[in-house]
Chain A
Amino acid sequence: MTEHLASFPYLSCMLLSPVVGLFILLFLKEHQRLAIRMVSLVAAGISFGLSIYTFVSYDKALGGLQFVEKYQWVKAFGITYFVGVEGMNAPLLLLTGIVIFTGVLTMWELQERVKEYFIFQLALVTGVFGVFMSYDMFFFFLFYEIAVVPMYILILIWGSTRKIYAAMKLTLYLMAGSGLIIPGILLLYSSSGLFTFNMLQLHAVQFSPWVQKLTFVLMYLGFGVLAGVWPFHTWSPVGHVAAPTAVSMLHAGVLMKLGSFAILRVAMYLCPQGFQYWAQFMGLLAATGIVYGVFVGLAQTDLKYVIGYSSVSHMGIVGLGLATGTVDGLNGAVFQMFAHGVMTALFFSAVGYIYDRTHTRDIHELGGFSKIMPVASAFFITAALCGAGVPGMASFWAELLVLIAAVKVFPIRGLFAIASLVIGALFALRVVQNTFFNEPNPKFTHFEDVSPFLGLPRMILIGFLIFFGLFPQVMVSMIKSSIVPFIQGM
């Protein structure tokens, strides 16, 4: 892959902006709420702006790795700080920017331990940015762990509904995943004989087939835990439910994508033969997850559980796309990562608004919310329709690409995935109807609707969903510019 050095360290700025914000927050006092929020917003805003900038100014015709920055860190072990942007991670950086920016706006009303909250949230997002842009396996894993740890604290302190159980479960699951990943990374590192963690150099090495097979399955399962691959998904609905709003947004919107992106970026990229060997297995797990997620979601009564299981199903689509190993499938998978990220962020953002006021998420208790909060309901319904795969929204295209590619490679599994779409529609509309179109619960009639300021983050999310729904080519051509060489290199 050709590398084009950056004229200005955009990526480092994107990465460091939350870190700087975090350090400024450390020196603020808890009661300076407005200052705390503004600092977080500015820090997130800079990252958001830079992520848009890199997305827009990435030269698709030139291709390769752009905005590259490379500094040697530990020479003896071959560790370099090596970041860059290509077609497949630019959308995910953009996604992270969107979600963190809207996430800070969504948590504007937080009253409890505001300072600590934003510190941990910025720390979390630093890790996420780092994973998406790193091309050095050491840094990749380092940032991966940085992203996971603050989650524990965020859920434990600001969470709700069985938060201790959820935080513990989530952390243990992810640690178990890491326990599989480290041997995988070290196996590649040691068997390459190059003493480098640089992924591009490791990619050039022809590992022996058994190393590839073993490493691939270790990494697939390890990263798959974070990606919510069936049957390692049960931490995710529980975690979504327990986490505070913006953390759920980050968690379902971005963190789960870390797992699937890592499968693509590390596991498939470095072990192509391992991937060929395990592709059928991946496809099977993914298709099971798709069907399974919608059915379980159908029986839930907690709004966040419903969304949590829809995430399992949608992440199954990502997995299925990856398993096809074709250009269309991978395009669709990366597109779906983006689309699902924005969509679930919208979902959780809308639910969070309602929950903050009513303190319940039971769909039978909520009933008739569209009368009380028409705008908040509209946000949720938009997300639900997007989740049901209605055209005109970004996720329709992603699903289309994945399903077409999947039917070519795995006809039966593909058909099951398509058939689950109808359940997906039932699933989304059932929730919408019970929650929003029913007799209003008199307990809640005094609540006010979303103010324009709080509506802003939701509007941003909807805007992105519809923009990429109408102009999918913007996204697809971007992803494709790196997927095509990726497949050729496999």
Chain B
Amino acid sequence: MGFNIGSVDPLFLACFAIVALPALAFGTIMIFTWRRDNLSLGISLTCSTIPLILAWWLFFTVKGATLAEPIILQVNWMVSDAVVVPFGFHLDPVSLLMLVIVATISWLIQIYSIGYMEGDPGFARYYADLSLFGMAMLSLVSASGMVQLFISWELVGLASYLLIGFWYEKFSASEAGKKAFVVTRFGDIGFYMGLVFLLYFMKDISLFGLGIADINNIGLTQKLTEAQITLCALLIFCGVAGKSAQFPIHVWLPDAMEGPTPVSALLHSATMVAAGVYLMTRLFPFFAASATAMAVVLAISTITLILSSTIGMVARDIKQVWAYSTISQLGFMAMGLAAAGLAHGTLFAGYYHLTTHAAFKALLFLCAGVFIHHFGTNDFFVMSKDGGRKLMIPMVTVTIAALALAGIFPFSGFFSKELVLAQLWHLDNKLWVGLGLFGAFLTAYYTFRVIFVLLFPRPDDHPAWQTYYVREEVAGHGHGAHGHEEEEAHGSHGHGGHGDHHGVPWVMAFPLIVLAGFTLVLGFMQTRIEKFLLGESHPHELNYLLLVLAVGCALGGIGMAWLDWGRARANWSGFLSKFPMLENFFIQKWYMDHFWRWFLNTVIYGTFSRIFTYNDRRVVDGGVDAVALGTIGSGRLLSFIQTAFLQLNLLFMVLVLAGVGIYLLMGR
């Protein structure tokens, strides 16, 4: 792309720098500086700080970009005949806000990782991968066309593969990385097909750029029938489900905990999983054009919400709990968007929840990271025993984040969850809002299960430990396998020594404080953000009944958690232990992993792969070999003519020649 820098729009240049600098960092570190940790760190930090500044600058200075009339800056990336792929940036409030979120959180996580990953042999590679992740996500957020978005989407998947499998010496880590890549890829194929179908239906070749604005106009211009839109929307939703871990392809996300904890924080807040919901927001007008698709999305996201909340109630790895909470919150966001689509609402509720969630979920994971880093275990019961509550900063911040997650006033989660529930309330069928409230209740319960266990450690002779040890054996078959793995991987890299000194290094504490600040402030920014996004702020008529119900559910959940886990006499068994069948069902994660394992082994490997291989060996190759053997066999058959009696052959030759000669002479 040979263009003169002077003649280019500075806005384009700024956007380009946001995307290109992290990519540059990735390339430089991977090729040149991968043996030099500090230099790599410097490069990576520089290349994430500048985009951070630029993103905030854009956020405050770009005026006149609205949802209806975005600023689109693009150049042609590839021009084939009908296929024209632009490369560019689609700036509107949605993308500007998300740019800021992504740039900020990935920057904070880079800072945090200085402490967390210190001394790891793959330090430089880690920063290279983080840069790639940042670049892919920033490009995804700002992409002007669907092809560019898809490319970034895949790169996000690639980066997550590299980061989840970062400690690749561990088989389970690389297995988890593979699972994440393949499962999300499974959804992406749906996405790809959706795009291709869209083109096929549009028949409008000039649209090939598949600009986001163009797609969003489809619903308005009514070029396609409703059935066609539904099909495309559902296929694209497959991609969303893959990335945002919606039922039934959510199975990769809990396993993705195999990566370093800061990666989980990044993955769960602003990048990987957010990409799915972001895409839904991005294409909200398009999705909203099909009520059927929206209903399906609503159903799927509700299932996801309930499923993951119930699993979260029985997990005992702190990262697992947060992972399932992420899935449930993603379900919440998708519900909000779907309900808005059904009830002709705006994308604000779901997107706002995405925003607040990004902050408090990053905070939750980073706090978990501090605990894990400090105690060398993922099991929060053990953390509690070893004195988790003595770590002041993370303990305070994790509680703030947990309150936000549970939806307690005045933390940010309260406001956004309230909005989502309000959207659900508008639906005719009150079942959805009921399930949403139930989800909120479960969320509060499992969140505070962790918090109470951490806050109120039991002495060693407390009866609760009995229950704990009994349970450990039961759970051993389910998720227990994940329990202590990070500890091992981590310990082997020389982190064991940190157990002695108390206190948290400032590089790790600083991001916690910043994020806690966001968690506190974001709730009160609601109207401003809404105004920024939609151009106007709808005054919310407060629905007191709903408000009471929601707060009641959250408080009920916390209260329940107090009864089961918090109070001094609680024996840590949880109300679920009254229903052993149900509990086991949850511990086995609704048998979804089993299902997919069966599907892969039996259907893919066992059936198709085997049949085709057999066909190749026997039928195709067998046919070829049969031809060869047939040639040999017929040779054998005819070889009786070869008597090895030379003179007989000669006699025959002479006779034939004589015969031919006589024939020719007579014929004349």
Taking Cβ atoms with an 8 Å cutoff, the residues of A that contact B are 169, 172-173, 231, 233-234, 292, 295-296, 298-300, 326-328, 331-332, 368, 370-371, 385, 388, 390-392, 396-397, 400-401, 403-405, 407-408, 411, 414-415, 418-419, 421-423, 425-426, 429-430, 432-433, 436-439, 471-473, 476-477, 480, 484
Contacts and interface: CB of A to CB of B under 8 A. Distances in A.
Nearest to B148: A391
B37 to A, nearest CB: 16
B613 A296 contact: yes
B616 A296 contact: yes
29 contacts: A233-B620, A234-B616, A296-B609, A385-B158, A390-B154, A400-B83, A404-B82, A404-B196, A404-B199, A407-B197, A415-B193, A418-B192, A422-B185, A422-B186, A425-B182, A429-B161, A429-B178, A429-B182, A430-B178, A437-B168, A437-B169, A471-B1, A472-B77, A472-B78, A472-B85, A473-B1, A473-B77, A473-B79, A480-B81
Residue among A231, A370, A391 having the largest count of chain B Cβ atoms under 10 Å: A391
A429 B158 CA distance: 11
Nearest to A368: B169
A295 B151 contact: no
Interface in B45-100: 76-83, 85
Contact of B193 (A327, A405, A418, A433): A418
A391 B605 contact: no
Contacts of B608: 295
Given A401-B80, A421-B189, A473-B79, A392 B155 contact: yes
Interface of B: 1, 76-83, 85, 147, 150-152, 154-155, 158, 161, 165, 168-169, 171, 173-175, 178, 181-182, 185-186, 188-189, 192-193, 196-197, 199-200, 604-605, 608-610, 612-613, 616, 620-621, 624, 628
B80 A439 contact: no
Contact of B81 (A326, A407, A422, A436): A326
Contacts of B161: 429
B147 A433 contact: no
Given A299-B610, A390-B158, A471-B1, A476 B182 contact: no
A401 B85 CA distance: 10
Given A298-B604, A300-B613, A429-B182, 16 more contacts: A231-B620, A296-B609, A296-B616, A327-B80, A391-B154, A400-B83, A404-B199, A405-B82, A422-B186, A429-B181, A430-B178, A437-B169, A439-B171, A472-B77, A472-B78, A480-B81
A391 B150 contact: yes
B79 A477 contact: yes
A169 B624 contact: yes
B612 A292 contact: yes
Nearest to B628: A172
B136 to A, nearest CB: 9
A132 to B, nearest CB: 22
A298 B605 contact: yes
Contact of B604 (A385, A423, A436, A476): A423
Choose among A401, A408, A429, A430 the residue with the greatest number of B CB atoms under 10 Å from its CB. A429
Contacts of A328: 80-83
A438 B171 contact: yes
B182 A480 contact: no
Nearest to B619: A231
A435 to B, nearest CB: 11
A311 to B, nearest CB: 14
A371 B171 CA distance: 12
A433 B174 contact: yes
A234 B620 contact: yes
A295 B200 contact: no
Given A296-B613, A392-B151, A473-B79, A422 B168 contact: no
Residue from B78, B171, B186, B604 whose CB has the most chain A CB atoms within 10 Å: B78
A174 B628 CA distance: 14
A419 B628 CA distance: 36
Contacts of A173: 624
